[in-house]
A = this chain, B = another copy of it.
Amino acid sequence: MLEQMGKAAKAASYQLALLGSKEKNRVLEKIADYLEAEAPQILTANEQDLLEARRNGLSDAMLDRLALNPARLSAIANDVRQVCQLADPVGQVIDGGLLDSGLRLERRRVPLGVIGVIYEARPNVTVDVASLCLKTGNAAILRGGKETWRTNAATVKVIQQALEECGLPAGAVQAIESPDRALVNEMLRMDKYIDMLIPRGGAGLHKLCREQSTIPVITGGIGVCHIFVDDSAEIFPALDILVNAKTQRPSTCNTVETVLVHQEIAERFLPALSQRMAICGVTLHGDEIVMQVLKGPAKLVPLKSEELDNEFLSLDLNVVVVVDIDDAIAHIRQHGTQHSDAILTRTLRNADRFVNEVDSSAVYVNASTRFTDGGQFGLGAEVAVSTQKLHARGPMGLEALTTYKWIGYGDDTIRA
C-alpha cells in the first residue's frame, strides 16, 4: 500500500513542480473553500475520534487539543488563505553566470519533490503541512497521530477533492490512514519516493527517525533552552525576560528550562527570582548551592540530574549557579539541545563570547528565547524548528521546502 502511495506521490510531484504561483494559489483557495463547505464530514469524523479518545481515557486538555468545531475549521481555512499571500520561492534564480568554458550556468530553486511528515495529535497540522507543501510545489505523504486518524483521513479527502477539481492528482496529498504503527517503520525506509522527512513530535519520535530512517530527516523541536544571567546583568530586566521565557507558553520548545546564574550575582539575584517566580506559580528546581541559600517564597525542590537534559514543558525551572561564563557555556554544550539559548549581560565581551561560542540554532543577547519562531523571525510560515545543522537550522520557512538544480546552457559546449 505504501509503495503505491509513494509512486502516486512521486508522479504527482512532477506535475506540481511545473505549476506557477497563480495555479498553486488557486488550489489553496479551493482547499480553503472546501474545508468550510465540507465541514460536516470532517466534524463527524472528529466526533468519532473524540469519542474513542474519551473512552481511552485521554485528559480533557488533550481532548481539547484534538477537538474541531466550525470556528476552528474556519480558522484553519483562513490559515490556508494566508499561505496564498506568501512569496513563492520556487523558480528563484539563486546565482549564475558565464563560465570561462562558455557554459552559461544558473542555480535555480526547485521543489524538493515528496515530503513525508509524521506528526502527533493536533489535526490542524494536516492542513498546515499540506498547504505549505503545495505552495512550494511538493507532494506530501502525511502520517498523523493515531488519536485523530479519522479526522485526518476526512480532511485529506476534502483536500483531494479540491485538487481534483483543479485538475491535479489526488496523489499530491495523501495520508496514511491506518493507525498501525508498523506503517511508520515502513514509511521511514521509503527513500526511493520520499525526499525529506519531517517528524513533528516528542524526543522519542525524533530518535526513531534518526535511527531508522533511510530518508534524510530534519530533527528538531526539542528545546532544553538556557538563559545565563551574567554578573553584570540588571536584575529586574533579567527577571522580566525570564518570566516571559518561562511562562508565556510553557509547553513550547523555545521555553527556557534552565537558568544559569553567575556566582557573583547569585546572592542578590536568587531571592528576587524566587519572589517573581512565586507570583507566576513557577516551581524552582535548585542545585545544591541554590538549596542552601534559598528558602522561598517560590516552591523549591532539589533538581534531579536528568532534569537538566529534558524539557519540563510546564511551570518548572532549573536554577543552577555557575562559576563564570566558561562554566555557563560548558553547561549549555553538555545539556543543551542546540535550540535557543540566551545571555543577559551588560558586558560587551561576554555577549560576543556567548554568541560565538554557544553552538545553538538561535542565540540571544538580552532577549527572550521565545523569539525562535517562524512568525517572529518574519518567515511567514513555520514548517518546523530544526535543531540539526544540515539544510535548515532553526525556524524553517517555505525556502526549507525547496532545493536547487544547476542548469548549464551550452552552445555545443564541451569540457576542455
A residues sitting closer than 8 Å to B (CB atoms) are 14, 17-18, 97, 99, 101, 103, 105, 110, 112-113, 191, 195-196, 210-211, 214, 216-218, 234, 237, 240-241, 244-245, 248, 333, 355-357, 359-368, 370-372, 376-378, 388-391, 393-395, 403-415
Contact = CB atoms under 8 A, between A and B. Distances in A.
B415 A403 contact: no
Contacts of A237: 412
A167 B357 CA distance: 19
10 contacts: A97-B378, A101-B371, A216-B388, A216-B389, A237-B412, A361-B406, A365-B408, A367-B410, A393-B404, A395-B406
B367 A409 contact: yes
Central interface residue in A361, A407, A410, A415, by most chain B CB within 10 Å:
A415
Contacts of A388: 195, 216
A120 B18 CA distance: 39
Contact of A14 (B99, B244, B357, B404): B357
A413 to B, nearest CB: 4
Nearest first, the 8 A-B pairs at minimum CB distance are A367-B410, A244-B414, A237-B412, A389-B403, A370-B415, A390-B391, A391-B391, A362-B406
Contacts of A210: 191, 214
B415 A368 contact: yes
B17 A359 contact: yes
Summarize A's interface: helix, strand, loop or mixed.
mixed
Given A216-B216, A377-B99, A410-B367, A112 B361 contact: no
A365 B415 CA distance: 14
Nearest to A218: B390
Given A366-B410, A372-B406, A18 B356 contact: yes
A407 B363 contact: yes
Nearest to A378: B99
A406 B389 contact: no
A113 B234 CA distance: 33
B113 A390 contact: no
Nearest to A358: B405
Given A216-B390, A405-B363, A17 B240 contact: no
B409 A366 contact: yes
A367 B405 contact: no
Given A105-B377, A376-B99, A408-B362, A368 B214 contact: no
Contacts of A395: 406
Contacts of A112: 389-390
Given A214-B211, A241-B412, A356-B17, A406 B363 contact: yes
B99 A366 contact: no
A282 to B, nearest CB: 16
A240 to B, nearest CB: 6
A384 to B, nearest CB: 13
Nearest to A413: B367
Contact of A410 (B105, B365, B391): B365
B413 A366 contact: yes
Contact of A403 (B245, B371, B393): B393
A30 to B, nearest CB: 24
Contacts of A362: 405-408
Contact of A414 (B105, B356, B368, B391): B368
Contacts of A99: 371, 376-378
Given A17-B359, A216-B216, A356-B17, A240 B412 contact: yes
